[in-house]
Structure 1
Amino acid sequence: MKLKLSLAILFLLQLTCMAQSKLSSDKLTSKDYLDLALEKVNTAKSENDLQNSINEIKRIEGLDKNYWLPSYYVSYFELTQSFFTSLDKKEALLADAKERIEKLLEDKSSDQSELYTILGYYYYAKIAQNPHKNGPIYYKDVIANYKKAISINPVNPRPRYLLDLFEDNVNSFMGKKDSNLCEKLQKDKKLFEAFNIADKNYPNWGEKEVLEHLKNCDKG
């Protein structure tokens, strides 16, 4: 009798734990799942780790069609991955990223400044794919999209710093030097310091890169 009672109590406890676990899971939103996925990206140590995180964020895309950030991050991470992956994977990553960006641009509830920023970043990635061939074709698209992003949100630091660095690269290619680059990057740094993100998952990348480039200014 005591054995049957103990088993019954154990069974009830298991049911309770399962119910609590499901209840906890049901309370998680797409924002919560994205937060967890982005934490994994921050600890990624290989291309395979990054790809697994991208796949996980792709699954989050389906949870809330009105939440633009999962598709944004898939695009951003695919563009980033294209810089160091093998040649046979680059084109598929770039094409998938651009398709997502263009679809998001149709959604006026998304942050258009951030989207035009990574659209410019897409064209920069295309140039990096084959600089001599694609540079003359896409450099105007890089500049135009960064400027479009700035016109939409003048205090967004990401398109400003990316534009400053890209124009410096173009000048270097032409045998020129932008003597005002460090001054521009200092302004970009201040923009990053003053920029307020809408929530913790909002795009906030770029500041570390600006600080790294400013170290070279200090050396000079």
Structure 2
Amino acid sequence: MKNLVLVVFFLSTISISAQDQYTKGMQKAFGFWQEGNLAEAANMFERISNAEMDNWLPYYYVSSINTILSFGEKDKEKLTQQLTKAQEFLDVAKGISPNNPEILVQQAMIHTAWIAFDGATYGMSLSGKVAALYQKALELAPDNPRVVFSKAEWDMGSAKYFGQDTSPYCKDVERSLELFATFKAASDFHPNWGEDRAKEIAENCN
């Protein structure tokens, strides 16, 4: 009995230690991100993912940062490297957490980065996929503010591209702000972005 107690205590200690390392690592990665050091943040999230192979979050953030860095990138080789890496890490995240609306939004963002780089080449093949991803995410999580806002912003961009009125989607942006006001992330490290951008879009709507 004494040996069993010692084993349980030992395993608990290991678990707590590993969790503590994960927490410190994630905090450090987000610290780099807040400082604007996205490359170092991505590297830190990648190191965490190597130790947390059943946790979708570090994979998601590696994908997210590489996608963010790709918007506005003019060098096709560099953009391809970044978005390929973003896709590879997101594919792992999908395997860990299938039908996750946050991951669906991130997949839509990867496609959008390709479209933003070269709409003539990628718009026709990827635009329908983006719309489908947002629709699926909305069905899975109709009260997730990032899902509601990201879909609205995509719909606005599509309407603008085709010379259509974007104002019908302002109500969706306003709804996302209402959802952001009460949204509680599952943990300190779960996705919690988007409110500032939604406020900016809402101001332009008015």
Q: Structure 1 length as normaliser, TM-score?
A: 0.80
Q: CA deviation at 1:85?
A: 3.4
Q: Residue type matched to 1:38 in 2?
A: F
Aligned positions, number: 190
Distance 1:52 1:26 in 2: 22
Partner of 1:67: 55
Cα RMSD (Å): 1.9
Q: CA deviation at 1:26?
A: 7.0
Q: Residue type matched to 2:34 in 1?
A: N
Q: Residue type matched to 1:209 in 2?
A: R
C-alpha change, 1:182 and 1:64, in structure 2 (3 Å) is same
Partner of 2:24: 32
Q: Residue type matched to 1:34 in 2?
A: M
Distance 1:116 1:31 in 2: 25
Distance 2:166 2:103 in 1: 27
Q: Unpaired segments of 5 or more residues in structure 1?
A: 1-24
1:170 is the counterpart of 2:175: no
Partner of 2:204: 216
Among 47, 60, 67, the alignment partner of 1:79 is 67
1:197 is the counterpart of 2:190: no
1:99 is the counterpart of 2:88: yes
Among 120, 123, 131, the alignment partner of 1:132 is 120
Q: Structure 2 length as normaliser, TM-score?
A: 0.85
Distance 1:174 1:217 in 2: 18
**Which aligned segments of 4 or more residues in structure 1 are displaced greater than 2 angstroms?**
25-29
Among 39, 60, 67, the alignment partner of 1:51 is 39
Q: CA deviation at 1:86?
A: 4.4
Equivalent residue of 1:62, what SS? helix
- Further displaced range: 70-79 or 189-198: 189-198
Partner of 2:11: none
Q: Unpaired segments of 5 or more residues in structure 2?
A: 1-16
Distance 1:113 1:170 in 2: 21
Distance 1:64 1:134 in 2: 34
Equivalent pair of 2:25/2:44 in contact (CA under 8 Å): no
Q: CA deviation at 1:154?
A: 1.6
1:119 is the counterpart of 2:107: yes
C-alpha change, 1:107 and 1:72, in structure 2 (3 Å) is same
Q: Residue type matched to 1:33 in 2?
A: G
1:182 is the counterpart of 2:144: no
Distance 2:102 2:18 in 1: 30
* CA offsets 1:88-143 (integer angstroms, 9 cap, x no match): 310111111111112221224x7711111101111111101201221111101111
Distance 1:64 1:176 in 2: 46
Partner of 1:4: none
Q: CA deviation at 1:195?
A: 1.3
* CA offsets 1:144-173 (integer angstroms, 9 cap, x no match): 111111222221111221111111111111
Q: CA deviation at 1:69?
A: 0.8
